[in-house]
């Protein structure tokens, strides 16, 4: 059963270059640097740093929107949830074979950014598998 508009969260998932998803939702789950956070209606105000991970949005229509984010911020206030990330991609848009190739390349690399590239590729793979 869908929630009425007065019972829903207004959610915005925004990447640096575009709005990835926007709409009404009943719940949002995101991974912050302090652990997983579930947000329902009337959640206390919150501002937290996101890790490279999967975000789940339970859309009002009953669909679950899954996305991979490359870190960023989660803001919750007055039943509005903003997820802001340099890069965010919906699970349905992820090329799993490309993400697996990126993961293999990052694991073979000893560069300073290898660990963050591994986390980002793993997040994209998890998001695609979850969808």
| pLDDT tens-place string over residues 26-81 | 999 999 999 999 999 999 999 999 999 999 999 998 899 999 999 999 999 999 99
What confidence tens digit (pLDDT) does each residue in 4-17 have? 456 899 999 999 99
pTM, 2 dp: 0.88
As given in the structure block, the two tokens for residue 108 are 């073979």
Strand partners, 57: 28, 65
pLDDT surpasses 80 at 131: no
Residues of the chain with pLDDT > 70: what percent? 95
User: Are both 108 and 49 inside the same structural domain?
Assistant: no
User: Are both 71 and 110 inside the same structural domain?
Assistant: no
pLDDT at 3: 45
pLDDT surpasses 70 at 97: yes
**Residues of the domain holding 104:** 92-130
User: Are both 46 and 110 inside the same structural domain?
Assistant: no
User: Are both 29 and 61 inside the same structural domain?
Assistant: yes
pLDDT at 5: 53
Query: Which residue would you say has higher pLDDT here, 102 or 3?
Result: 102
Distances (CA, A) of 44 to 38, 71, 78, 100: 11, 22, 8, 38
User: Are both 85 and 102 inside the same structural domain?
Assistant: no
Q: State the CB neighbour count (10 A cutoff) for residue 95.
A: 12
Round to whole Å and give the CA distance between 42 and 23.
17
Q: What is the mean pLDDT of residues 87-111?
A: 93
Model confidence at 111, in pLDDT bands (50, 70, 90)? Answer: confident
User: Are both 75 and 118 inside the same structural domain?
Assistant: no
pLDDT surpasses 90 at 130: no
The number of distinct structural domains making up the chain is 2
Round to whole Å and give the CA distance between 43 and 104.
39
């Amino acid at each position: 059963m869908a929630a009425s508009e007065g019972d829903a969260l207004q959610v915005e998932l925004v990447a640096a270059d575009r709005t990835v998803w926007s709409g009404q939702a009943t719940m949002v789950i995101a991974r912050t640097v302090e652990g997983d956070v579930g947000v329902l209606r009337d959640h206390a105000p919150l501002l937290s740093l996101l890790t490279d991970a999967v975000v789940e949005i339970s859309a009002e229509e009953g669909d679950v929107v899954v996305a991979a984010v490359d870190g960023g911020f989660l803001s919750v206030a007055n039943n509005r949830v903003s997820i802001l990330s340099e890069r965010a991609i919906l699970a349905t848009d992820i090329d799993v074979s490309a993400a697996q190739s990126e993961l293999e390349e990052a694991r073979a690399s000893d560069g300073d950014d290898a660990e963050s590239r591994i986390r980002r590729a793993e997040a994209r793979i998890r998001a695609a598998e979850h969808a």
